[in-house]
Amino acid sequence: MITVLNTIDTGHEDMIHDAELDYYGLKLATCSSDNSVKIYDIKNGTQTLAADLKGHFGPVWQVAWAHPKYGNLLASCSYDRKVIIWKESGEWTKLYEYTGHESSVNSVAWAPAEYGLILACCSSDGSISIIQYSQDTGNWDVKKITGAHAIGVNSISWCPALSADLNLDPLTNKDAPKRLVTGGCDNLIKIWREQGDQWVEENRLELHIDWVRDVAWAPSLGLQRSMIASCSQDKRVVIWSSDDNVSWTPTILNTFDDVVWSVSWSLTGNILAVSGGDNKVSLWRESTDGQWLCISEVAKGLGQTPNDERSTL
């Protein structure tokens, strides 16, 4: 079911830390320890290098695409303590540089487009920044949550706007609270809610016994509940689900053989891709009785299906 399309020769001189596809799945951005960000156009299974962005002076940990209604915007964060927002207008140029962190910036995420142009980033200095573009002034306004996670924040993800609050009627709930989830070096997952012009800690989810490496809030096209996937140095992937975004129930998806570094949801939020230290990427789907099943697994470069289960619509 999962087959290798191709292997991309990126020309990066060092390790690649993140590869992100844009809203349409037609542009691919990669970032690497060699301080560069590269952008590829994907057409019919082939890709061409569109841009090589140099502006960071340290390994670039993560990239994030903004919603296309704001144009082609890409945010990148780096060990050099900076977040750079790149914009394509003919050529890729630096639109904004944020230098508000005292240590490596580990993760960036754009807010759902409904909220406006807002970027959240988090750093090894333990703080989270929420940077909002103000249409009127043309400035980027910064709010900061300090001391979010002791030792450092590794990953950040937004709650989708559509599921903003499942209890409330979305028709009358355009001002639904914004939510963020972060995972940190204190082994905790925290959920933050905007309250007035403050961000407050709404929930802390404890289960992992080592650094949380990645968190991902599931997009919720049609889903009736919220789900967050988290993965950790403790080799486990946990799915947290909630009907009201307030009380969360954990399900351990699996315990892997090695550190799990990265999780990513499919558009419909029902397939989770997991990538771990064993160099494998596996796809997981929740069966109707709440069990998570591995529907596909590939080791680096090989396409294979673990069993005959082809469970999809």
Partner 1 sequence: MIPSNTICVSEEGPANALALNKDATQVVIAGRNVFKVFSIEENDFTEVCNLRVGKNLNLNFSSIDVAWSTIEENTLATAATNGAVVVWNLGRSGRSKQEHVFSDHKRTVNKVSFHLTEPALLISGSQDGMMKCFDLRMKEVARTFISNTESIRDVQFSPHQAHTFAAVSENGNVQLWDVRRHERCLQQFTAHSGPVFACDWHSEMPWLATASRDKTIKVWDIHAKPNLEHTIYTIASVGHVKWRPQKKYQVASCALVLDCAVHVWDVRRPHVPLATFAEHRDVTTAIAWQNDPNTFLSTSRDCSLYRHRFSEAAHPVLWANPHGVCVSARGDVTHAAPDCPLPALHTNPASDRYVPGLGRKQPTAGSLRPQAQAALERLFPGGAASILTRYSGEGRPPCCVVACAKEYKMRGLPTHELAEHNAKVARAYNRHMVGHVWEVVRCVYGRPPPREPPEREPPPPPPAHTNSNAVEEEPLEEVEQWAETQFHNSGVLGMPTLSIYIPPHKYKIRHDEGSGWVSAASAHYVDVETADWTLPEEAFPLRAPPPAHQPSILDTTHGRTAAGGASPGGSSSPGSGSSGSNGSACTAPPNLEQTSSAYPGAATLCRAQPEEGESGPLWVVHEALRPHVEPAPLLALALRHHADLGDVQTAALVMIVLHEHRSDLFPYIDEGLQEHWLLGYIEFLQKHKLWNVATEVVRCAWLSSVWSLSQQSSSVTVCCGRCGRRARPRAMCDRCLPHPDLCAVCRQVVRGLYAWCQGCSHGGHLEHMRQWMEKHQLCPAGCGHHCQLG
Residues 208-247 that bind partner 1 (CB under 8 A): 210-211, 213-214, 220-224, 233
Closest approach of partner 1 to the CB of residue 215, in Å: 13
Point out which span in 55-63, 130-138, 191-199, 247-255 binds partner 1 (CB under 8 A): 55-63
**Residue 141: how many other CB atoms lie within 10 Å:** 12
Q: Which is nearer to partner 1, 197 or 310 (CB)?
A: 310
Q: Which of 74, 75, 76, 125 binds partner 1 (CB under 8 A)?
A: 125
Site string for partner 1, 58-87 (x = CB under 8 A): xx-xx----------------xxx------
Are 66 and 74 spatial neighbours (Cβ–Cβ below 8 Å)?
Answer: yes
- Judged by CB under 8 A, does residue 206 bind partner 1? no
How many of the chain's residues bind partner 1 (CB under 8 A)? 102
Point out which span in 132-140, 148-156, 188-196, 243-251 binds partner 1 (CB under 8 A): 148-156
Closest approach of partner 1 to the CB of residue 197, in Å: 26
Q: Which is nearer to partner 1, 247 or 312 (CB)?
A: 312
- 162: phi then psi, degrees, rounded to nearest 5: -65, -30
Please give the residues from 246 up to 305 whose contact with partner 1 meets the rule CB under 8 A: 258-259, 261-271, 273-279, 281, 283, 287-289, 295-296, 298, 300-301, 303
Q: Which is nearer to partner 1, 93 or 198 (CB)?
A: 93
Distance CA 65, CA 21 (A): 8
Distance CA 30, CA 20 (A): 6
Point out which span in 28-36, 131-139, 190-198, 241-249 binds partner 1 (CB under 8 A): 28-36
Q: Nearest-CA neighbor of 149 among 208, 204, 108?
A: 204
Please give the residues from 87 up to 106 whose contact with partner 1 meets the rule CB under 8 A: 90, 102-104
Are 151 and 134 spatial neighbours (Cβ–Cβ below 8 Å)?
Answer: no
Distance CA 179, CA 139 (A): 23
Are 64 and 31 spatial neighbours (Cβ–Cβ below 8 Å)?
Answer: no
| DSSP letters for 23-68 | TTS-EEEEEETTSEEEEEEEETTEEEEEEEEE--SS-EEEEEEPPG
Q: Which is nearer to partner 1, 119 or 269 (CB)?
A: 269
Q: Which of 48, 146, 171, 175 binds partner 1 (CB under 8 A)?
A: 171
Please give the residues from 127 up to 146 whose contact with partner 1 meets the rule CB under 8 A: none
Q: Which is nearer to partner 1, 35 or 120 (CB)?
A: 35
Q: Which is nearer to partner 1, 132 or 275 (CB)?
A: 275
Q: Nearest-CA neighbor of 65 among 56, 53, 75, 78?
A: 75
Instruction: Report CA-CA distances (Å) from 184 to 68, 96, 274.
Output: 30, 26, 18
Are 284 and 253 spatial neighbours (Cβ–Cβ below 8 Å)?
Answer: yes
Closest approach of partner 1 to the CB of residue 266, in Å: 4
Are 131 and 158 spatial neighbours (Cβ–Cβ below 8 Å)?
Answer: no
Point out which span in 27-35, 133-141, 195-203, 245-253 binds partner 1 (CB under 8 A): 27-35
| DSSP letters for 88-103 | EESEEEEEEEE---SS
Tell me the HSE value of 86 on the side-chain side, using a 13 A CA sphere.
23
